[in-house]
Amino acid sequence: MERKYFGTDGIRGQVGEFPILPDFVLKLGWAAGKVLSSGRGGKVLIGKDTRISGYMFESALEAGLSAAGKDTLLLGPMPTPAIAYLTRTLRADAGIVISASHNPYEDNGIKFFSADGLKLPDAVELEIEATLELPMTMVPSRHLGKATRVKDAAGRYVEFCKSTFPRGMDLKGVKIVVDCANGATYQVAIDVFSELGAEVIAIGNQPNGLNINVNCGSTHPEALQQRVLKEQADLGIALDGDGDRLIMVDHQGNLVDGDEILYIIANYQHSQSRIAGVVGTLMSNLGLEQALARQGIALYRANVGDRYVIAAMLERNWLLGGESSGHIIALNHITTGDGIIAALQVLAAMISSGNSLQTLRSGMEKLPQVMINVAISGARQMSQHPELQQAVTHEEGRLQQRGRILLRPSGTEPLLRVMVEGEDAAEIHATAERLAELVRLLGKPL
């Protein structure tokens, strides 16, 4: 069944436009409380990032959950992976995150974790959507849920993050610039790295409700690159608004993206205890696949979206996966993407090997990649058009083994993404343009 409200990562949109309205979120809290309860009572965690609308939606969710008879534990501003971790350790029925991740403050969203700290299966999301269609009822007054604020939530998560760093190893003598995107990591990230001994220069750590992700964080790392050079730091760490993405900067100011981070961590883990494989996505650079293959490590490509990466990891019993955007999942430590923990794994690789970030990433050569977004109605159907498929087969023959082609309909916009990557930049640009032009000719441009 097609989902009505849930996208690839919860429910998200512009504040003030349906469904990101307080009355809908109130009922969503009630519906989630009904579906995610194993019986009367139980508790649900609520965390949020720093955008101003989080206060409003926190109150709405709390009221809806109370009406369903669920107690709530309020965590305040906390990274998304912290909610996943605390949901498990505090034995809650579910965790709810109020965040729109890397989007601007005008947007917000609601996403859920199960009692195991995992994203909800499609079937559970469909059940919540079905419950939303029912009239809202309320448990008897004596069974209404209560709300409690968890005062030590940040400290619990900081200690957990530090526990994922190898014992006997510290960050003394390492100078790091950390960009918190004026988001949910603005306190805990600084504490984690500094308590492990690093000299930390913090930027993007003054949230005001409106400046989350504004010219900072993993989607805008330019300020971080400049600051790393100015401070002559060993590296830079850029997190996104809710702390589940990581982009890094080496000591010369060069960006290190999710594919390169995944390669570095995979190599490090492989040197500690051999690993069979890593899960990437359809968008993972071919250079990552080639570099891993040289180390005897397989790459499996899942659909785009961290929930699909995690599902593939669980299916294969592999412990490492991620996306080019910087979602890195280390299942031996946590059940979802975690920017702080991923950064700690890279730092452990640096200290263990004695090499700089620049040296560690040099074993992977990214192949040129071109993406053309074609605005078109019926993008999913167009991706399967026989004439377009025939053209893709023809172009793949021209590329031979020097590249690959991917047609991917956007999950949120009326776009067909035409992606081509390969060894020859001019060749893949020409290939992408030919295919994009064919899409425009065959379809109905918007």
Q: Kind of pairing, strands 369-375 and 415-422?
A: antiparallel
Same domain? For 397 and 284 the reply is no
Query: What's the confidence (pLDDT) of residue 298?
Result: 97
Please determine, for residue 74, whether its predicted confidence score (pLDDT) is greater than 80.
yes
Same domain? For 129 and 223 the reply is no
**Does a structural domain hold residue 27?**
yes
Same domain? For 340 and 305 the reply is yes
How would residue 63 be classed by pLDDT, with cut points 50, 70 and 90?
very high
- pLDDT tens for residues 309-348? 999 999 999 999 999 999 999 999 999 999 999 999 999 9
Q: Please tell me which residue in 66, 99, 101, 218 is annotated as part of the active site.
A: 101
- Residue ending a domain, choose from 335, 361, 387: 361
For range 110-134, the mean pLDDT:
95
How would residue 151 be classed by pLDDT, with cut points 50, 70 and 90?
very high
d(CA 55, CA 51): 8
For range 404-409, the mean pLDDT:
92
Please determine, for residue 33, whether its predicted confidence score (pLDDT) is greater than 60.
yes
Same domain? For 135 and 178 the reply is no
Known catalytic residue: 101?
A: yes
Please determine, for residue 40, whether its predicted confidence score (pLDDT) is greater than 60.
no
Secondary structure of residue 284 in the 3-state scheme: coil
- The contacts of residue 351 (CB under 8 Å, 6+ apart) are 169, 171, 174
CB 182 within 8 A of CB 217: yes
**Does a structural domain hold residue 4?**
no
- pLDDT tens for residues 224-279? 999 999 999 999 999 999 999 999 999 999 999 999 999 999 999 999 988 999 99
Same domain? For 218 and 315 the reply is yes
Q: What is the mean pLDDT of the chain?
A: 95
- Residue ending a domain, choose from 318, 345, 361: 361
Query: What's the confidence (pLDDT) of residue 31?
Result: 97
Query: What's the confidence (pLDDT) of residue 338?
Result: 98
Query: What's the confidence (pLDDT) of residue 405?
Result: 95
For range 66-93, the mean pLDDT:
97
* Total domains present in the chain: 3
* CATH code (residue 282): 3.40.120.10
Please determine, for residue 131, whether its predicted confidence score (pLDDT) is greater than 80.
yes
Query: What's the confidence (pLDDT) of residue 402?
Result: 82
Nearest in space to 335 (alpha carbons), one of 303, 315, 313: 313
Same domain? For 93 and 110 the reply is yes
How would residue 1 be classed by pLDDT, with cut points 50, 70 and 90?
low
* CATH code (residue 429): 3.30.310.50
Same domain? For 203 and 118 the reply is no
Q: What is the DSSP string of 223-248?
A: HHHHHHHHHT-SEEEEE-TTS--EEE
CA separation, residue 170 to residues 164, 338, 415 (Å): 12, 20, 46
Same domain? For 296 and 345 the reply is yes
d(CA 27, CA 10): 15
Whether the upstream peptide bond of residue 79 has omega within 30° of 0, thus cis, is no
State how far Cα 37 lies from the chain centre.
26
> Which percentage of the chain shows pLDDT scores above 90?
90
Domain of 100 in residue numbering reads as: 11-153
Query: What's the confidence (pLDDT) of residue 446?
Result: 66
How would residue 401 be classed by pLDDT, with cut points 50, 70 and 90?
confident
For range 295-306, the mean pLDDT:
94
Query: What's the confidence (pLDDT) of residue 38?
Result: 61
Q: Is the pTM of this model over 0.85?
A: yes
